[in-house]
Amino acid sequence: MDNKDRLLGEYIGDSDGKLFIVVAGIHGNEKTGLIALESIFEYLNEVQPSFSGKMIGLAGNLKAIANSARYVDTDFNRIWKRQIIDGIRNNGVGGHEFHEYDELKALLDEIDSIIDCKDPSNIVFIDLHNTSSAEGMFTFTFEGDDNYRIASALHIPIITGLDKALQGTAIQYMSERGFCSIAFEGGPLGVEKSISIHEAGVWLLLEATGCINRSEIPNYEQQKALMVASTENFPKISELIYVHNIEESDQFKMNQGYVNFQKIVEGEILGVDVNGDVRSPHAGYIMMPLYQTQGDEGFFITKLVS
């Protein structure tokens, strides 16, 4: 693992502004964000548009990316917990229980070197992901005017409550450090359109944070139209209320045919495991039904926020 491979790109503006950090590939099989960032940095460095602040792109789990696997030993987006981070900060890379602990230390060291002494309120952290099911365009963020304002620039559904229902995510840790933190689910795995969605979304986020004017964004109207059209019939804001945690020994299998934001009723049979039928404990919208071999959650449930 070589940290120089982690830097996907860097662009320093001609005036002061936000430090805009984007990470892609925290799950190694979710690669459309990596491709989108490559395209964005190529444009920035070639055209040199006026820009306020600084943008940094980083790769997440380098070994998992190389293996095209979600993770190597454990889910990299479930270990950003204070006790784990405190335990690895004082140790060198290597010798940890899980490979992802080495990746976490290396990525945090890189981020800390970029942040230096900057005001946390002047830092934006974006984490790019894909889903294994259809209609996978939405964003996770936390309560707060700045979070909502920036996340809403994507024109896709916003999901809150991640901090109450799921622990150890990168954006939760970065939010606790005072950064505006957003996870951007940019469409299904391995679908070419997901590259365009991630690219369009990052441009809109850069505009929302004041880093770049829309007149400097290539094909701005088309980029915005892509985001607006893709999820116009979905709920604008919903809250995560349930996570169905699973272990390998459960032998959980999701029933086929579910897509993100599909309405479900309480008691609906969603899948099976070693104990029989797995029923929904709540009515609401199903999110991220598991249709890949690796994963610690079978499905999520959200409800509308009035």
pLDDT at 1: 46
Share of the chain above pLDDT 70, in %: 97
End-to-end CA distance of the chain: 46
User: Mean pLDDT across the stretch 108-114?
Assistant: 93
Q: Which two structure tokens, joined as six digits, stand for 80? A: 């950003």
pLDDT at 164: 82
Query: Is 41's pLDDT higher than 60?
Result: yes
pLDDT at 95: 64
Distant-in-sequence, close-in-space partners of 259: CB < 8 Å, separation ≥ 6: 133, 134, 135, 289
User: Mean pLDDT across the stretch 259-278?
Assistant: 96
Query: Is 126's pLDDT higher than 60?
Result: yes
Query: What's the CA gap between 56 and 74, in Å, rounded?
Result: 26
Query: What's the CA gap between 144 and 148, in Å, rounded?
Result: 6
Question: Where is mean pLDDT largest: 159-163, 236-240, 254-258, 291-295?
Answer: 254-258
107 against 89, higher pLDDT:
107
- b/e sequence 118-151, b meaning 16+ C-beta within 10 Å: eeeebbbbbbbbbbbbbbbbbbbbbeeeebeebb
Find the Cα–Cα–Cα–Cα dihedral 260, 60, 171, 147, rounded to 10°: -80
Q: Which two structure tokens, joined as six digits, stand for 65? A: 């990316």
Query: What's the CA gap between 155 and 89, in Å, rounded?
Result: 37
Report which secondary-structure segment, H or E, holds 220: helix 220-230
Query: What's the CA gap between 171 and 184, in Å, rounded?
Result: 10
13 pLDDT tier (thresholds 50, 70, 90): very high
Q: Which two structure tokens, joined as six digits, stand for 205? A: 């986020």
3-state helix, strand, coil in the chain (%, to 5): 35, 25, 35
Axis-axis angle for helices 192-208, 145-152 (nearest 10): 130
* Radius of gyration for the chain, computed over Cα atoms and rounded to the nearest angstrom: 19
Are 289 and 270 in contact by the 8 Å Cβ rule? The answer is yes
What domains can be seen in the chain, in order of their start residue? Answer: 3-230 (3.40.630.10), 238-304 (2.40.50)
pLDDT at 166: 86
Q: Which two structure tokens, joined as six digits, stand for 135? A: 């209609």
Instruction: Tally the residues of the chain.
Output: 306
Query: What's the CA gap between 234 and 10, in Å, rounded?
Result: 34
93 against 280, higher pLDDT:
280
pLDDT at 97: 80
Are 166 and 247 in contact by the 8 Å Cβ rule? The answer is no
Query: Is 193's pLDDT higher than 50?
Result: yes
Query: What's the CA gap between 184 and 33, in Å, rounded?
Result: 10
pLDDT at 230: 75
Query: What's the CA gap between 7 and 10, in Å, rounded?
Result: 8
In 3D space, the residue among 250, 23, 266, 264 whose CA is nearest the CA of residue 125 turns out to be 23
DSSP class of residue 83 equals: H
